[in-house]
Amino acid sequence: MIHKIQNSYHQFAAFISGRVPEAMMLLFVRVALAGIFWRSGRTKVEEGSWLQLSETTTFLFEEEYAGVPLPSDIAAYMATYAEHLFPILLILGLFTRISATALLIMTLVIQFFVYPDAWWQVHIIWVAMALTLIVRGGGLFSLDHILSRKSYAA
């Protein structure tokens, strides 16, 4: 009986560790992390605009996010552009490791300079997702994978 359970477990572990399940997990992580930052980026722009900063964003970076070690106007634009560019790249699976690294750095800046009490509630999860993508890459269902296959074929 125990041998049958062990055998079933090993078969399940072999299946779930395969290329396609891993690719699905990495796609899910890419979408989840991208969604967090995309939604945040959209709150920073004027309704109906693509990248025009709202007055609220300007105010927040001058007052509430004043601990960020950059001038508030530069930090506001950098954060807004990053929260739009890197999620798009993550969804596409293009430059996944670079995009995840950028969002990891952004998370750490938020953690240390803006919301230092949010580590266990929120930021540890963002860091875990970013580190997963930095270590594993975009996976089989990514433009990174397609482009890397073409570069080896050339």
| Alpha-carbon distances of 78 from 21, 27, 70, 103, rounded to whole Å | 35, 26, 10, 12
Q: What is the mean pLDDT of residues 27-50?
A: 97
Percent of the chain with pLDDT over 90: 90
What residues contact 134, with CB distance under 8 A and at least 6 apart? Answer: 97, 100, 101, 104
b/e per residue 81-108 (b: at least 16 CB within 10 A)? ebbbebbebbbbbbbbeebbbbbbebbe
pLDDT above 60 for 154:
no
Q: Residues 6 or more apart from 118 whose CB is under 8 A from it?
A: 110, 111
Confidence of residue 152 (pLDDT cuts 50, 70, 90): low
Instruction: Round to the nearest angstrom and report the end-to-end CA distance of the chain.
Output: 52
Average pLDDT over residues 111-122: 96
pLDDT at position 90: 98
pLDDT confidence of residue 103: 98
pLDDT at 59 over 90: yes
Alpha-carbon distance 132 to 125, whole Å?
Answer: 11
pTM equals: 0.92
Mean pLDDT of 26-36: 98
pLDDT mean over 3-26: 92
For residue 46, pLDDT over 90 is answered with: yes
Residue extents of the structural domains in the chain: 30-153
Share of residues in the chain with pLDDT > 70 (%)? 97
pLDDT for the residue 32: 98
